[in-house]
A and B are shown apart, each in its own frame.
Chain A
Amino acid sequence: MTTLLEPIGKKTPPERSATSPARYAAGRTARYAMLLLVVIVVLIPVYVLFVTSFKGAGDASPARAWALPTTWTLENWQTAWTTLAPAIGRSLQMVIPSTIISAFLGSLNGFVLARWRFKGADIVFTLILFGMFIPYQAVMIPLNQLVLNLGIPNGIPSLILLHVVYGIPITTLIFRNYYMTVPHSLIEAARMDGAGMLRTYWNVLLPISIPSFVVVLIWQFTNAWNDFLFAVFFSSSSNGPVTVALNNLANGALLQNYGVSMAGALLASLPTLLVYIILGKYFVGGLMSGSVKG
């Protein structure tokens, strides 16, 4: 898995092509055409979401499915906002603490497993990593019972716990791989100065961990925000996060109202899209650091 954390490197310098300049130029044009074609294909669903979310009821005919709205209206957005706003608030309450806690635990684990090693550290690491790949369906029934027995209220509180617990493997992986790149001499120097394990972590590793924290925060934020599996098992439409609310909106009474559903889908995606746009550069690193829950 270490291969996954290597950054996307610099562009290779232009090749000295053996082919003639004319053929080289033709090849380049073809390549740009293909790149643009991919852009169009990727963005088609976005066009549909955007355009439909501004269409009034009059635009609903199938014949006009791909056309721009005859009149642009904000009605769908208003309906979607009134329906989803409370759930968006709950999602934030869920995502922020669970992201911070699981990031911190992952960083401690990563430090120990990479730089304060003991015999059997790799086996412990592999055992932790396995938690990332299990299908959560295989623990869901007893998990339900356990959360009930622990007395944790259904809805956001239990979802915070679950995102912390099942986030540990991936955050540990990301931090461990990052700390592996820290030169061992740095740790040795701290040890020579008499620093213990905690002091070494706090004074030496934590200050240089910011890039990893950014990656982990993006990753966990996106995962917890987008999660539907735990959400649908551990909350109801009245106390659930935004994915549950959106699913109810899209499958509920307003079934045929694609305009509202699509405005809702865009609304529910805004926080992760903002994270993606603002921290885009690190997002790539985050994507490459491992797997996805789901």
Chain B
Amino acid sequence: MADGLLGIAASGLLAAQRALATTGNNISNANTDGYNRQRVETSERDSTYTAGGYLGNGVNIDTVARLYDNFLNTQVRTSQSASGGATAYNQLTSQINSFIGDRSASLSAPLQSFFNAAQDVANDPSAIAARQVLLTQGDSVAQRFNVLDTQFNTLRAQVQQTLSSDVDQINTWAATIAQLNTQIVSQSASGTGQPPNDLLDQRNLLLEKLSGKVDTSVMTEADGAIDVFIGNGQSLVMGAAYNRLQTQPSAYDARADDIALSSGGDQGAIVITQALTGGEMGGLLKFSHDVLDPAQNSLGRIAAGFALAVNAQHRQGSDLKGNAGQDFFTDPTTPTDAWFAKQTNGGDARLSVAFDNTPATATTPANTPAQLTASDYRLDYDSGGNAVLTRLSDNTKFTDNPAGSGAFQVDGLKIGIASGTAKAGDSFLIQPFRTPAGTIQAALDDPNQVAAAGSPSTGPGDNVNARALVNLQQTKGMLEGKASFQGAYNQLIGEVGVKANAANLDNTAQKNLLDQVTQSRESVSGVNLDEEAANLVKFQQAYQASAQLIPALNNTFDALMAAVRS
């Protein structure tokens, strides 16, 4: 019986001590990332049957449990993905937004100055100074196109770099998660069935970080290991095994990267670029596809349309020396790097891609720069060897004309086979608008070469062609004849502005959502120091009370001994 009381006291002391230690652990990890607060869970010891009833035997320490809600953590991960994607998308979109609409850095001001300079030449066609100003303004327009294009390319490089560093990061995390899986399984099994709280916390933290990079789904196995899936359910971690993500040259353009998942086996890497959603990578890919490509193509389209129109008009005039006008800007008719053959092509066909300017005839409709679309295209040779051109913006398909020639005259473009032959199954990616803004350059350097005159012999006061150049400012030569060059640029500003605005709102909303679910999770798993202080007091008191049992037992025993001695 005396043994019993001492045992009860000892169990109480031990329980209070463990509770104090756990409280201390909570306090010291209050600011540790991924830490879930812990609690000592106790239960009543089995009681002893006596004639007088069941007699209590003290307290048992069952386990140190971590307060963890799987549902809330899944919500946090989902939200982390959405927020990570929205942040990356917003950050990059707002960069385009700020340089494309900037008062001093946008294209609007130099375009306006160019046309005003053309008006000054019309006012004073024989003045060399006015002609020089027009040349300089033409140069400014070209350079502004170049600068904007460089900024687009810088963003493109930034996206590629971030993607590839994300890939490295994800690979490291995937490896660590697989390793943690192994440890968790072995510790859960080898121990007394107690959960390895620290390892679980670490793994959970990594999952959360992973979700910030890419959308993930998680499945827990019976032995405590987890499987992690990304993209369309491609598995990244399977228990102790993991696959590696990698960047590799895309199927068409070797300079662009695709994301692929490699299991290290024989079947090679599977490209999953299109399947990746959510997280920073999803945001980057969405930005690239939804904002960057269309914006750069739009700019390229304006550059090509503008240079084609100015050149065509300038060639119709005569310069101060009575010579026929030359190209004002470098001829953009044949854009560089406008097509890419798929790496798996069997044929040796090389394409020719050029901007067209064919007026309507009785039998065929016009094919002019006004019809340029800013879309990319894909030329496929089907199994029968027939050429099919697809406009990628809306997947409209065109067949070649005449059939079998592989030649197309659509959307202001002239596409054909320059040399070689294509085989069935060959495919080409056509990007006519990616480079014109970067390659446009002013071609004239002598003010005498400005073709202000309408004919070669009328004299230096002739301003007919200068006025015709001025008219181009208002000519609706873009967007199916619905917009001028400045109008087309304004449309680009509007489109990017709307996207940036939406991106900003979405980013704020996703952040708020993440805050809310994080708060819910924190309410379960987070450490509250005041609560811990109160617990400290509670467990100290419990410890003191249990300790008091020992002198009580001692006194009882002394009393008994004294009675026996006397």
Q: Do A and B come from one complex?
A: no
Q: Which residues of B contact A (CB under 8 A)?
A: none
Q: Which residues of A contact B (CB under 8 A)?
A: none
